[in-house]
Amino acid sequence: MRIRRKPWAENEFNTNKNYIKEAKPNKGKWKDLFKNDNPIHVEIGCGKGQFITTMSNQNKEINYIAIERKSMVIVSALKKGREKEVGENLVFFTADVENLKDYFAKGEIERLYINFCDPWPNKKKWAKRRLTHKNFLKLYGEIFGDKGEIHFKTDNRILFEFSLNEFASQKGWSLKNISLDLHNSNFNENVMTEYEEKFSRKGQPIFRLEAIYKKTTD
């Protein structure tokens, strides 16, 4: 789907205090930017920002970084963050997930959020593009270093089943808090994305899991 250019986008990018224009120089130095030693959590593909802005306002003791590869999408998240008066514990920057090692040093982040990513459902050859493919899991493990965790949500059953199999087949990963119908479960800490709100109102079940990474020596 083509995303229309927003006439107010340039001003938002230039004036929003939570936007990082050049993120690479912060590799290994994100705690210096946040000016504290709080844990760092990252959302890959923040969309319009409802999830990450809510999380940052609810958890001031955690530093959040929101990444989105499309500039005309992340600018909407910036606007939402400004309107919700998010604090200094949240920053945004534009990047592709494949280049995460350019932005984060090993062991620098503790948690990744992957919410409603593209399921790439049509062809088997597209499986490598799924953000829970084993190639990406290897990348995440390298960034985590010794340990870390991923919180993953989707409305696509095929992607969820694929993800369960990928995590289970890779060394160092274990699963917990698996839900096949999140909104009818006893999990009460859920923060919804815009997409999640839209499709859950239509009765679409939401799938969720937490994947825990611990580096193995064998």
Examine residue 86 and state whether it is found in any structural domain, yes or no: no
CATH of the domain at 148: 3.40.50.150
Examine residue 186 and state whether it is found in any structural domain, yes or no: yes
pLDDT class of 3 with cuts at 50, 70, 90? low
- 218 versus 169: the higher-pLDDT residue is 169
Examine residue 164 and state whether it is found in any structural domain, yes or no: yes
- Chain-centroid distance of CA 117 in Å reads 9
Domain count, the chain: 1
Marked catalytic residue, from 96, 102, 118, 181: 118
Examine residue 53 and state whether it is found in any structural domain, yes or no: no
Q: How many CB atoms lie within 10 A of CB 81?
A: 26
pLDDT class of 4 with cuts at 50, 70, 90? low
Chain segment 84-112, per-residue pLDDT in tens: 999 999 999 999 999 999 999 999 999 99
Please tell me the distance from the alpha carbon of residue 141 to that of residue 95, in angstroms, as a whole number.
19
Chain segment 58-89, per-residue pLDDT in tens: 999 999 999 999 999 999 999 999 999 999 99
- Please tell me the predicted confidence (pLDDT) of residue 7: 85
Examine residue 104 and state whether it is found in any structural domain, yes or no: no
- Reply yes or no on whether 118 is catalytic: yes
Structural domain boundaries enclosing 138: 125-218
Please tell me the distance from the alpha carbon of residue 196 to that of residue 213, in angstroms, as a whole number.
26
The stretch 160-183 carries a mean pLDDT of: 97
pTM: 0.94
Query: Token digits for 195?
Result: 């997409």
- 159 versus 217: the higher-pLDDT residue is 159
Grouping H, G, I as helix, E, B as strand and the rest as coil, residue 42 is: strand
Examine residue 174 and state whether it is found in any structural domain, yes or no: yes
Please tell me the distance from the alpha carbon of residue 151 to that of residue 4, in angstroms, as a whole number.
30
Examine residue 218 and state whether it is found in any structural domain, yes or no: yes
The stretch 195-217 carries a mean pLDDT of: 93
pLDDT class of 1 with cuts at 50, 70, 90? very low
DSSP code of 19? B
Examine residue 137 and state whether it is found in any structural domain, yes or no: yes
